[in-house]
Structure 1
Amino acid sequence: MTNQTQSTKGLDKQGYITTPYSVSNIQPEFTAVVDHTISSLVASFGERLHSIYLYGSIGRGDAIPYCSDLDMSVVFTSKVSEKDVLALEHLSEDIAAKHTVITKLDFDPGEHSQIIQPSELYRWQFWLKHCCCCLWGDDLSKEFTQHKPSFDIAVGLNEDLSDTYQSFLSQTANSQQIKSISKKILRAAYLLIAPQDNTWHHNLDDMYVSSLPYYPTYQEELKTIFALTQNAQTGSTLSLDSCHRFITNIANQLLGSESIDSDPTA
């Protein structure tokens, strides 16, 4: 990794994480669905909306029409209720059905008063600062500090991996759910080694390549998980079953019960 430039490493000269998300990066093919989503959120929630943020491949400008998701974080001025969650789900389904250029639409809702708490430094505050760009409303990211890669960030973004994985195992998953959990596992594995690798990648291909040297006993598992992030089919849960020990190891590291070099097969 020593021959990488700072830009390809995802860090600036001081080692802080750079943010490749911008409204100007939105490709023309996705402008209509982004605009429709913003107007629909405003119409549905009005004054209860504080701000709307874009993340993922569309925000980076490397989305693939008819293959990529649209991902947005939505900040509310008051507590997010079950009714709000259901309304967001309805909007998601309706907009995705009308704009087939995206495969699905995901909303991550949060409450302003919670997001600004010190306890959210490595989760919401990091997320809005380095993983999003503001589309509408008052940009909270301007108030938050810059970060360098750290174990705290890995935990802040993925400490729910164990619960998410257990929930996944308890259901009959479709291809979209398998792809989603595979992405989460790969990102979690990468974020754990990012401080040592001295990188901060935003796309799965680079995360996979950077992770390989740090998990020598789990090469096949990483290969399987990466393949599922690209092309998961309903029924490919069996492929993830072969990765169970690796996934459990990653989840335990995030919970502080395993070291990064721990091998549960030993």
Structure 2
Amino acid sequence: MTEISNIGRFCLTDTNGYIINDAELKNINYEYYKVIEEVMKVYKSHLKNDLHSIYIRGSIPRGLGIHSISDIDTIAVTTKQPSEIDVQWIDEEEQALTEKYTCISGIEFSFYWMEDVLQTNHFSIIPFMIKTHSVCVLGDDVSELLPDYKADKTLGNEHLVNLWEQIELAKEDLIGNEDKEDILDCCRWIMKIIVRSGLALVIEKEHKYTRDLFPAYKLFSDYYPEKESAMKQALKYAIEPVEDPKELVDYLNKMGPWMTKEAEKWLQVHNPKKLRNMPI
């Protein structure tokens, strides 16, 4: 049985309501250093002069990493467009590092062109993540060139504007799928989306944000107590995914329509034109 622990916290904000980045090198537990060092070597080996900088994001640089459960999530800023970069090595390198280091549950390599990262007239999740949830471990830190962000509708919209498409994509991926690892990955991905979307539904009421799942689930449940048990199930699936695609599709068929209906209500109020990226 999955045990739900009260782990995580809401983002700190300054007196003007802007999110404070609490990711720092000193917060990273020693057991993750060797993994991060090897990640940097892999990036440098494959990208060479196309690599501008590397960031570690998520729970680990915030001091919230959990042994064998947390991922090493990375962002590489490149001087060349990702479409021009050979990325065929990613899956093999991610799998090799995950098997080598038992202190993590996975590795994520990702690439973003510097010119795209620095286009910040409209909200975009990667500049947001670099500014608010990441620490630079190699190269020149671009975070100082990025705007400050608040927990507001521009952020909430990121989680809600494509929610229906994401749920449908997950169901398509799950139906008839016999690849256990693929099913587990899909389960983690879509259930994290659902929990964070639940928080987005109340972001304009609370002006609070977190990538951490437990506090997101709790705040959502305060506003939607009738859906507390359903959201708790999404949280459990995200923490301990299951291999049964039918079970997951059944859940999505029940929770999905309600979530997308509430998302549509939210969009009608805060983004009736359904802009993919709202102006900051």
**Same fold (TM > 0.5):** yes
Counterpart-to-counterpart distance in 2, 1:12 and 1:92: 37
**Quick check: 115-124 or 61-70, which moved more?**
115-124
Q: Decide which of 209, 215, 219 is 1:210's aligned counterpart.
A: 219
What secondary structure, in the 3-state scheme, does the structure 1 residue paired with 2:242 have?
Answer: coil
Partner residue of 1:246? 258
Alpha-carbon deviations, 1:142-170, whole Å to 9, x = none?
Answer: 11121211111122355443332221101
Partner residue of 1:113? 115
Alpha-carbon deviations, 1:57-115, whole Å to 9, x = none?
Answer: 11211111112111111111111127633222232122212212211111232111111
Partner residue of 1:222? 231
- How far off its partner does 1:55 sit? 1.0
**Quick check: 32-41 or 243-252, which moved more?**
243-252
- How far off its partner does 1:187 sit? 1.1
**Quick check: 157-166 or 234-243, which moved more?**
157-166
Alpha-carbon deviations, 1:127-156, whole Å to 9, x = none?
Answer: 211121111111111111212111111223
Partner residue of 2:164? 162
**1:163–1:10 distance in 2 versus 1, CA, 3 Å:** same
1:187 aligns with 2:196: yes
Runs of at least 5 residues in structure 2 that lack an aligned partner in the other structure: 1-8, 175-181, 272-280
- Asked if structure 2 preserves the Cα contact closer than 8 Å seen for 1:53 and 1:134, the reply is yes
- Asked if structure 2 preserves the Cα contact closer than 8 Å seen for 1:225 and 1:240, the reply is no
1:174 aligns with 2:183: yes
Partner residue of 1:123? 125
Partner residue of 2:148? 146
Counterpart-to-counterpart distance in 2, 1:39 and 1:157: 33
- How far off its partner does 1:240 sit? 3.2
Counterpart-to-counterpart distance in 2, 1:9 and 1:59: 14
Counterpart-to-counterpart distance in 2, 1:78 and 1:158: 30
- Asked if structure 2 preserves the Cα contact closer than 8 Å seen for 1:249 and 1:258, the reply is no
> TM-score, length-normalised on structure 2?
0.81
Partner residue of 1:49? 51
1:102 aligns with 2:104: yes
Runs of at least 5 residues in structure 1 that lack an aligned partner in the other structure: 1-6, 261-266
Counterpart-to-counterpart distance in 2, 1:83 and 1:46: 11
Identity %: 22
What secondary structure, in the 3-state scheme, does the structure 2 residue paired with 1:86 have?
Answer: coil
Partner residue of 1:37? 39
What secondary structure, in the 3-state scheme, does the structure 1 residue paired with 2:74 have?
Answer: strand
- How far off its partner does 1:182 sit? 0.4
Counterpart-to-counterpart distance in 2, 1:144 and 1:24: 23
**1:142–1:259 distance in 2 versus 1, CA, 3 Å:** closer
What secondary structure, in the 3-state scheme, does the structure 2 residue paired with 1:85 have?
Answer: coil
Partner residue of 1:72? 74
- Asked if structure 2 preserves the Cα contact closer than 8 Å seen for 1:54 and 1:133, the reply is yes
> TM-score, length-normalised on structure 1?
0.85
- Asked if structure 1 preserves the Cα contact closer than 8 Å seen for 2:51 and 2:76, the reply is yes
Alpha-carbon deviations, 1:171-212, whole Å to 9, x = none?
Answer: 236223202210121112213322311322342111111111
Across the aligned residues of Structure 1 and Structure 2, the Cα RMSD in angstroms comes to 2.4
Higher relative contact order (CA 8 A, sep 6+): 2
**1:177–1:82 distance in 2 versus 1, CA, 3 Å:** farther
**1:9–1:22 distance in 2 versus 1, CA, 3 Å:** closer
Counterpart-to-counterpart distance in 2, 1:150 and 1:9: 13
What secondary structure, in the 3-state scheme, does the structure 1 residue paired with 2:136 have?
Answer: strand
Partner residue of 2:88? 86
- Asked if structure 2 preserves the Cα contact closer than 8 Å seen for 1:150 and 1:195, the reply is yes
- Asked if structure 2 preserves the Cα contact closer than 8 Å seen for 1:18 and 1:130, the reply is yes
1:133 aligns with 2:135: yes
